[in-house]
Amino acid sequence: MSQISLQMKRIIYSTLFFSIFLFSGCKKDTPQNIVQTIDPSVQFTANTFNDLYLWYESMPAVDLTTIKTPDEYINKVRYIKDRWSFTMTYTDMVGLLQNGETTGWGAGMGFDELNLLRILFVYDNSAMGKAGVKRGWQIKALNGKTVASMSDAEVNTALNNAGNSFVFIKNDGSETTIQLTQGAIIINSVQYSGIFPRGAKKVGYLVFSDFLGSSVKELNSVFDGFSSQGVTDLILDLRYNGGGTLDCADSLVAMLAGKPNSGKVYNTLTYNNKHIRMGYQSLIGLKSNSVQLDKLVVITTSSTASASELVISGLKPYMNMKLIGSTTHGKPVGMNIEGDTKLNIAVAPISFRNVNSQGYSDYFDGIPVDFTVKDNVTQDWGNPTDACLTAALNYISLGAIGSINIKSAIIPGRIIYKGTDHPVENLYQSGNKPVQ
């Protein structure tokens, strides 16, 4: 058995529940004794929740012999504020968390206010990435049926197919039909990076989608460039970043704020009263590629969650930071995962609360932005017609976002598909560090 911490989308697993009936030798074969058993995965899940769950004292009593799956158990004991506790297979969890390995189409999709289904982001090493699909493309039709004539449920059903014929409208207005099959994905967390000169300023722009163990190498490469080229201000685009590992968050925080804030506390993890000593403080580190910024602008949406919110909350007391876009997801808590290799299960109960250096923690309704700008998706990353990017560049140069013209924007909450079969959504890993 091993212990790992993370958080991500719940996945339902089927398990067997059975009873053994013993029969006597009477005239009529009637059951004399019924031995009720508990599924081992359900028992393991219950043990984990009773020990680590942040709200374990509020859990109702449950007869485990009546529970068929771990997720059925979680749904019965879940605290009202908990939208995130989950289970998944141990092997899938390790591959995703450590190596960014998963499967699927490799692109996020969402509807805009004109009811057009848009590509939000694409992983390079995926079915869509290899086919050249770009952010901003419209999916006009699936398997000969126009998206306009389909319900959301029908779109999702089609996306569950192993293969589909897609008709895309590219960003230049031309159409292309591509036959695609779902497959393996290696996630690239850096979706885009670049530098925009603005007078005497050099403004770095980083689109970051996932906090994974494999992401740190990507971040190091980007910040090596930012540091060597003298970036003075930075736009951190986290609009679709649903979370990730604490180690990766530590690395990003060090690169953003290590000069001159190294050694300062940016987050404290607090556990339930059974595990008070598991709590610890995260300190701002210092790296060779740490930058010293005049301004930090973070672009957010309702899909900005978990480790993304932790970075925002943790850096607010120390940096000249503004948020542009829309209110974040609202997840000030995280998970420790208990994994059982024999059962091939990883159980992730909400285990701890994140608290910044000023005691800020209760953002279950999300972190509000300083400037509201809708997420319009009509071009690829880095295009100056992107409303949020334009607003961020204007703020850094002028101190105001200016007038932003948006014809249509992605509808919050109507994001159809996250890009992978196991999205890095609300994924969170904590390190085994001592109490400070």
Torsion sign over Cα 92, 97, 101, 104? positive
* Distance between CA atoms of residues 296 and 256, nearest Å: 9
- Tell whether omega for the bond before 260 is within 30 degrees of 0, i.e. cis: yes
Torsion sign over Cα 281, 286, 289, 294? positive
Pairing of strands 371-372, 321-325: parallel
Q: Which domains does the chain have, with CATH numbers?
A: 11-98 (no CATH), 101-186 (2.30.42.10), 190-410+422-429 (3.90.226.10)
HSE at residue 353, side-chain half, CA atoms within 13 A, is 17
State pTM to two decimals. Answer: 0.87
Task: Return per-residue pLDDT of the chain as tens, 436 residues.
Answer: 444 443 333 222 222 222 222 223 444 444 556 668 999 999 999 999 999 999 999 999 999 999 999 999 999 999 999 999 999 898 888 888 777 788 899 999 999 999 999 999 999 999 999 999 999 999 999 999 999 999 988 998 999 899 999 999 999 999 999 999 999 999 999 999 999 999 999 999 999 999 988 999 999 999 999 999 999 999 999 999 988 888 899 999 999 999 999 999 999 999 999 999 999 999 999 999 999 999 999 999 999 999 999 999 999 999 999 999 999 999 999 988 889 999 999 999 999 999 999 999 999 999 999 999 999 999 999 998 999 999 999 999 999 999 998 989 999 877 776 666 655 444 444 433 322 2
Which residue in this structure is represented by tokens 């590629």?
Answer: 289
